[in-house]
Amino acid sequence: MHVEFLGIPRQRAGVAQLQIEATTLRQALSVVRMQVPALQELITADGLHPSLAANLNGDYFVNDLDTSLKEDDHLLILSADVGG
């Protein structure tokens, strides 16, 4: 699956995107946390820091860590205040 970072997460990560394997949001965040140590204080075992948000396929925001993900999904991690 494709993970893209916008705003502060992109600045902190130092990369714009990653390609990972995950079947749930919990797994995806865990992989991101391991691959991008600069985000470890913003992504914990409990999920995203309140200053961040996750959007799935541009359709809706997700925060349930058990949300199922598919191989062709696009997960966007961005600052929670983006978009006003």
Q: How far apart are CA 84 and CA 75, in angstroms?
A: 20
Q: What pLDDT score was predicted for residue 81?
A: 79
What domains can you pick out in the chain, each with its CATH number?
2-79 (3.10.20.30)
Tell me the pLDDT tens digit for each residue of 41-68.
Answer: 999 989 999 999 999 999 999 999 999 9
Q: Which residue has the tokens 């600052």?
A: 79
pLDDT band at 82 (very low <50, low <70, confident <90, very high): low
Contact 69, 23 (CB under 8 A): yes
Tell me the pLDDT tens digit for each residue of 11-51.
Answer: 999 999 999 999 999 999 999 999 999 999 999 989 999 99
Query: 29-65 burial, b if ≥16 CB within 10 A, otherwise e?
Result: bbbbbeebeebeebbeeebbeeebbbbbeeeeebeeb
